[in-house]
Amino acid sequence: MISNSINDLKSEMIAWRHHIHAHPETAFEEVKTTQFIIEKLQSFGITQLYTDFAPTGVVGVIKGNKEGRWIALRADIDALDIIEENNINYCSTISGKMHGCGHDGHTAILLGTAKYLSEHRDFSGTVVVIFQPAEENEGGAQVMVENGLFDRFPIEAVYGIHNQPNMQLNHFYINHGPMMASYDVFEIKITGIGAHAAAPHLGKDTILTATQIVNGLQSIVSRNADPLSSLVVSVTQIHSGDTWNVLPQHAVIRGTVRAFSAQVQDMAESRIKQIATGIATTFEVKAEVDYQRRYPATINHAKQAKIAMTAAKKIVGEDHLIIDHNPSMGAEDFAFMLQKIPGAYVWLGAGSGANLHNPAFNFNDEVLTTGVSYFIAVVNQELAS
């Protein structure tokens, strides 16, 4: 159930959400967004604010009436490089930038939670609200963790929410373990000998090699990975050649790997290297493989997942709680926080609508108060006085 005092926040939260939506800022450029959040937090009477964990973003500390443990709630605040195609009166005012993942809504939920907690300090302990920049691509969570977010404060658990369009409205999806996959990228540079296309025997062909490597990479999922473990190896780019009558000297293949365990990641990395260099040798060209690990898998800790489930059940009821749903092969930098301290990441179903990262996506305001109620229920679970 959502309490009256949380419902009272709804119109204010919608106004904040629409303001943030109209002024999207991308990774580590969330200057005005951060300023907006700071002004709101100060107006709620939250004065213990920290901006030194990342170039943008802010962390606020809210003390309960009694001493106790520390926990943290996290929202991501960044937008995407997408041209918005919504016809709404609070459409993006910044060309080419858009809140296409609903982080405007996550920010409004955490602001509403902060306001509620600052007015209702009937808990034992401290709640840290983390407004994290640069979730998309740039790993803002990793930056905050490396700059000592969990070293400066004795935070024992961290909780995060992500809205999910086309999952049932106001349902919570919570897993005991994996929620999101790891995200790695690879680049294979192939160098051969360029030649006249009419005299291929005088060259060493990089395009023929590249196509064989792409085929070879498909064997990693089908023949190296345990059929019961999840792995994606996707080639997403091939660049080579400029004209009809030249066999190009260079070719580049790029792609991404998604998995749920470090062992599967290790296997994929070593097989990509073996297959690329082995096929290159066969075709008498050279292949260099650059493999980079971007985000680890987002894996809930069982104890905090149970706390999240209990909290969600209190708000939406058992019939709106879906436990151990299939995880997503997408990635999320909240993973870096979960590697450092225990916690749980949950999906909040937003009902039918355009998918995340689509130019017609728009956060569903009908889940704002559900999100706040959930965070408050987590605080009550963790820091009952």
Convert 312-374 into a string of H (helix), E (strand) and C (coil).
HHHHHCHHHEEECCCCECCCCCHHHHHHHCCEEEEEEECCCCCCCCCCCCCCCHHHHHHHHHH
Smallest distance from the beta carbon of 162 to Zn ion, in angstroms? 6
58 scored as a contact of Zn ion (CB under 5 A): no
User: Taking contact as CB under 5 A, which single stretch among the options 96-104, 113-121, 195-203, 302-310 is the one that binds Zn ion?
Assistant: 96-104
Gap between the Cα atoms of 36 and 53, Å rounded: 18
CB of 308 to Zn ion, least distance (A): 18
Closer CB to Zn ion, residue 129 or residue 238? 129
CB under 8 Å to 112, separation ≥6 — which residues? 6, 9, 12, 13, 16, 368, 369, 371, 372
- Find the shortest distance in angstroms from Cβ 160 to Zn ion: 10
The stretch among 15-23, 99-107, 207-215, 234-242 that binds Zn ion (CB under 5 A) is 99-107
Residue 3: CA count within 13 A, CB half-sphere: 12
Q: Which is nearer to Zn ion, 210 or 350 (CB)?
A: 350
Number of residue whose CB is nearest Zn ion: 101
| CB of 267 or CB of 346, closer to Zn ion | 346
**Shortest separation between residue 357's beta carbon and Zn ion, angstroms:** 6
The CB density around residue 135, as the number of other CB atoms within 10 Å, is 26
Please say which residue, 107 or 369, places its beta carbon nearer to Zn ion: 107
| Beta carbon nearer to Zn ion, 123 or 375 | 375
Cα separation, 210 vs 184, in Å, equals 20
Binding residue for Zn ion, selected from 27, 54, 101, 264, defined by CB under 5 A: 101
- Burial state string for 101-129 with b = 16 or more CB within 10 A and e = fewer than 16: bbbbbbbbbbbbbbbbbbeeeebebbbbb
144 part of the interface to Zn ion, by CB under 5 A: no
* Residue whose CB is less far from Zn ion, 216 or 353: 353
Structure tokens at 345: 């990441």
Torsion sign across C-alpha atoms 353, 359, 360, 364: positive
Determine the interface stretch with Zn ion among 23-31, 95-103, 166-174, 319-327 (rule: CB under 5 A). 95-103
CB of 295 to Zn ion, least distance (A): 12
Applying CB under 5 A, does 73 fall inside the site for Zn ion? no
- Looking at the Cβ atoms of 163 and 370, the one nearer to Zn ion is 163
Q: How far is the CB of 163 from Zn ion (least distance, A)?
A: 8
Backbone angles phi, psi at 212, to 5 degrees: -65, -35
316 touches Zn ion by CB under 5 A: no
Instruction: Examine residue 71 and tell whether it contacts Zn ion (CB under 5 A).
Output: no
Site of tokens 């629409």: 18
Give, as one character, the DSSP assignment of residue 193. Answer: B
Sheet harboring 49-50: ordered strands across? 49-50, 58-63, 124-132, 66-76, 155-164, 343-349, 172-174, 321-323
Closer of 180 and 372 to Zn ion (Cβ): 180
Task: Return the number of the residue (108 or 188) whose C-beta is nearest Zn ion.
Answer: 108
- Pinpoint the alpha helices (H) of 44-185: 103-119, 140-146, 149-152
Helices (H), 8-59: 10-22, 31-43
Q: Hey, which residues between 3 and 32 contact Zn ion (CB under 5 A)?
A: none
Q: Candidates 94-102, 235-243, 310-318, 361-369 — which segment interacts with Zn ion by CB under 5 A?
A: 94-102
Of 85-93, 97-105, 272-280, 339-347, the window that binds Zn ion (rule: CB under 5 A) is: 97-105
Size of the residue set binding Zn ion (CB under 5 A): 1
Residues that bind Zn ion (CB under 5 A): 101
